[in-house]
Structure 1
Amino acid sequence: MLNNFLLVFAQDKSLTKINGMSMVASRSTINDANAKDLRDIGSNYIAVMPYAFMPKAEKAQLFFDTKRQWIGETLAGIESDVETLQALGLKVMIKPHIWIASGAFTGNIAMTSEEDWIQFEENYKAYILAFASMAEKNKVSLFCLGTELNSFVSERTEFWCELIEEVKSIYSGKLTYAENWDKYDDVIFWDSLDYIGIDAYFPISENKTPSVEKVNFAWHGLKSALKSFSKDYNSKILFTEYGYRSIDYAGKEPWESSRKEVSGNETAQLNLLKGLHQSIWDEDWFAGGFLWKWFPNYNSDSNRHHNRFTTQGKISESYLKSFFKKI
Structure 2
Amino acid sequence: MRIFKCLIIGVLLIALSACNGQVEKINGVSFVASGGSIDQTNVQPVVNVNANYAAIMPFGFMRSLDHTEIIHNTERQWFGETRAGAKQYIDELRKKQIKIMVKPQIWVRRGEFTGLIEMTDETNWKLLEKSYSSFIIEYAELAEEVNAEILCIGTELENFVKNRPEYWNTLITEIKTIYKGKLTYAANWDEYKRTPFWDQLDYIGVDAYFPVSDKQTPTFEDCMKGWETHKPVIKDMSVKYEKPILFTEYGYRSVDYSGKKPWVSDRSMNKVNLDAQVNTTKALYETFWKEDWFAGGFIWKWFNNYEKSGGVDNPMFTPQNKPVEAVIKSYYKSKK
TM-score, normalised via structure 2 length? 0.93
Q: Which moved more, 1:231-240 or 1:305-314?
A: 305-314
1:148-176 deviation line (CA, Å, top 9, x unaligned): 00000010000000010100001010000
How far apart, in 1, do the equivalents of 2:248 and 2:296 lie?
A: 9
2:183 matches 1:175:
yes
Question: What is the aligned partner in structure 2 of residue 131 from structure 1?
Answer: 139
Q: Is 1:291 matched with 2:302?
A: no
**What is aligned with 2:86?**
78
Pick from 215, 223, 239 the counterpart of residue 231 of structure 2. Answer: 223
How far has the Cα of 1:86 moved from its partner? 1.2
Native 8 Å contact 2:33 2:57 kept in 1: yes
In the other structure, the counterpart of 2:54 is 46
- Match of 2:112? 104
When residues 321 and 302 of structure 1 are mapped into structure 2, their CA distance, relative to the original with a 3 A threshold, is closer
Tell me the SS of whatever aligns to 2:235: helix
Q: CA deviation at 1:2?
A: 3.6
Between 316-325 and 231-240, the greater mean CA deviation after superposition: 316-325
Q: Structure 1 stretches of 5 or more lacking a match?
A: none
Deviates more, 1:306-315 or 1:26-35: 26-35
The reply on whether 1:267 has 2:283 as its aligned counterpart is: no
Q: Partners of 2:152 and 2:313 in 1: how far apart?
A: 27
The aligned runs of 1:1-327 (5 Å cut-off) are: 1-2=6-7, 5=10, 8=13, 15-260=23-268, 262-300=270-308, 306-327=314-335
- CA shift for structure 1 position 4: 5.2
Change (3 A) 1:252 1:143: same
Offset, 1:199 = 0.3
Q: Which runs of 5+ in 2 are unaligned?
A: 1-5
Q: What SS is found at the alignment partner of 2:107? A: strand
Q: Counterparts of 1:150 and 1:193 in 2: how far apart (Å)?
A: 16
Hey, what's the Cα distance between the residues in 2 that align with 1:305 and 1:167?
A: 43
Runs of 4+ in 1 over 2 A off after TM superposition: 1-14, 298-305
| CA radius of gyration, larger in | 2
* Whole-Å separation in 2 of the counterparts to 1:213 and 1:162: 45
Q: Deviations over 1:253-287 (max 9, x none)?
A: 00000023521001000000111101111112111
Partners of 1:192 and 1:303 lie apart in 2 by 41
Instruction: Give percent identity, aligned residues only.
Output: 45
Q: d(CA) in 2 for partners of 1:270 and 1:311? A: 9
The alignment's TM-score, normalised by the length of structure 1, stands at 0.96
> C-alpha distance in 1, partners of 2:269/2:287?
31
Q: In structure 2, the residue corresponding to 1:102 is in which secondary structure? A: helix
Give the deviation of 1:107 after TM superposition: 0.2
Separation in structure 2 between the aligned mates of residue 75 and residue 7 of structure 1, nearest angstrom:
44
Q: 1-side partners of 2:198 and 2:35: how far apart?
A: 34
Deviations 1:173-205 (A, max 9, x none): 000000100011111100000000000001110
Counterpart AA for 1:318: A
Residues 165 and 285 (structure 1), Cα distance of their counterparts in 2 relative to 1, 3 Å cut: same
Q: Is the 8 A contact 2:30 2:299 kept in 1?
A: yes
Are residues 67 and 281 of structure 1, via their aligned partners in 2, closer, same or farther at CA, if it must alter by over 3 Å? same
Aligned-partner Cα distance in 1 for 2:309–2:147: 37
SS in 2 for 1:239: strand
Q: Which amino acid aligns with 1:175?
A: L
Aligned residues: 327
Amino acid paired to 2:213: S
Q: Cα gap change, 1:53/1:289 in structure 2, threshold over 3 Å: closer, same or farther?
A: same
Kept after mapping to 1: 8 A contact 2:309/2:320? no
User: Could you give the per-residue CA deviations for residues 269-324 of structure 1, whole angstroms, max 9, x where no partner exists?
Assistant: 00001111011111121111111000111344877970000111110111211221
Deviates more, 1:112-121 or 1:297-306: 297-306
Q: CA RMSD in A?
A: 1.8
